[in-house]
Amino acid sequence: MPEHVLELNNVSKRYGTFTAVDDISFSIPAGSIYGFLGPNGAGKTTTIRMILDILKPDAGSIRILGEPCALNVRHRIGYLPEEKGLYKKMRVWAIIAYFATLKGMSNKEAKLRAFELLERYGLKDYAEAKVESLSKGMGQKVQVLSAVAHRPELVILDEPFSGLDPVNQEVLEQLIHDMAQAGQTVIFSTHIMQHAERLCDRMLLITKGQKVFDGTLADAHAIIPRRVILECAGDIRPALDSSSIVGVKEVLPESGKKPQSLRHWEILIKEHTDPQSILQCCLNAGIPLTRFDHTQPSLHDVFVHLVGSDAKEHQLR
């Protein structure tokens, strides 16, 4: 298998005058969990469909598992589409086995694999049930298992967490971890940042069809400086200016507060600055604090910073 299981170079897709994907380039190393992130309507699904040769790009090139066309390696790929759907009259184990045989497994091997997956991921008791009797969440789990039963080298899941309750989201996260530990590469699209924060080795963020970030979680966190949030009466700046603290980049007061009232202060600090030194400075200056909070910016904070109004409009979270 090549070092990069997927490479996109300057890929674009247009519908008339509307550009759905605009000159996107990225590569995904083998064995990684890669998050494909962005607000609804950002171009994630269009990009995935071009990767799988469901849509043809108007510009640029794509290589997948060393080939220029996904159809050449389709038995090595597992795909969960955004639009979910199963054969309602089939039994649960049979539908998983059926999709596995379509990707080259023998009937016997596919059946054993179906029961193995159902037991491992909490659906053993539903193996003989018909799909139409399942809840929406259970049906979605069955479709995910159907997409990966043949042990594909590359797994592409389009919004796999959509519609799942928290318990089943945890089950799906465990499945993704298990596949990565087995050496498979997993790509999943989502607009829910918590899943990416817990799962991803690397992530891509697109908005309005354009790439705005491609890197690790640490790279993402480095975009927004570390910060300390304080609340106190009066002005904190003289105490910090007169102190020997090294690493304070900026002190930002909350707007709209009178000087004599409780005020919120956001203190931006450099990477290796100890937040406790800010607290000690306030104690030394006799400044009573009603709040001291040091938190690393979340992935949500980073992406709201990058995406801006799109994050709020499309409820990126």
Contacts of 299 (CB under 8 A, 6+ apart): 193, 194, 196, 197, 217, 220, 221
Select from 171, 143, 139 the least CA-distant residue to 155: 143
**Residue for token pair 């290589």:** 63
Cα–Cα separations (whole angstroms), residue 168 to 1, 50, 197: 32, 29, 17
Distance from C-alpha of 116 to C-alpha of 93, rounded to nearest angstrom: 10
pTM score, whole prediction = 0.80
- Whether residue 250 contacts residue 269, with contact meaning beta carbons closer than 8 Å, is answered with no
List the domains of the chain with CATH numbers. 4-215 (3.40.50.300), 226-296 (3.30.70.1340)
The one-digit pLDDT tens for each residue of the chain (317 residues) are: 557 899 999 999 999 999 999 999 999 999 999 999 988 888 999 999 999 999 999 999 999 999 999 999 999 999 999 887 788 899 999 999 999 999 999 999 999 999 999 999 989 999 999 999 988 888 889 999 999 999 999 999 999 998 788 888 999 999 999 999 999 999 999 878 888 889 999 999 999 999 999 999 888 887 877 778 888 877 778 777 766 666 777 677 765 444 456 678 878 777 777 888 888 888 888 888 888 887 777 787 787 778 765 554 444 44
Distance from C-alpha of 35 to C-alpha of 51, rounded to nearest angstrom: 15
Answer left, alpha or beta for residue 214, where phi above 0 means left and psi between -120 and 50 means alpha. Answer: beta
Tally of CA atoms within 13 A in the half-sphere of 299 that contains its CB: 27
Task: Determine the pLDDT at residue 103.
Answer: 93
Task: Determine the pLDDT at residue 316.
Answer: 46
Task: Determine the pLDDT at residue 114.
Answer: 96
Task: Determine the pLDDT at residue 41.
Answer: 85
Find residue 190's DSSP bridge partners.
37
Distance from C-alpha of 231 to C-alpha of 282, rounded to nearest angstrom: 11
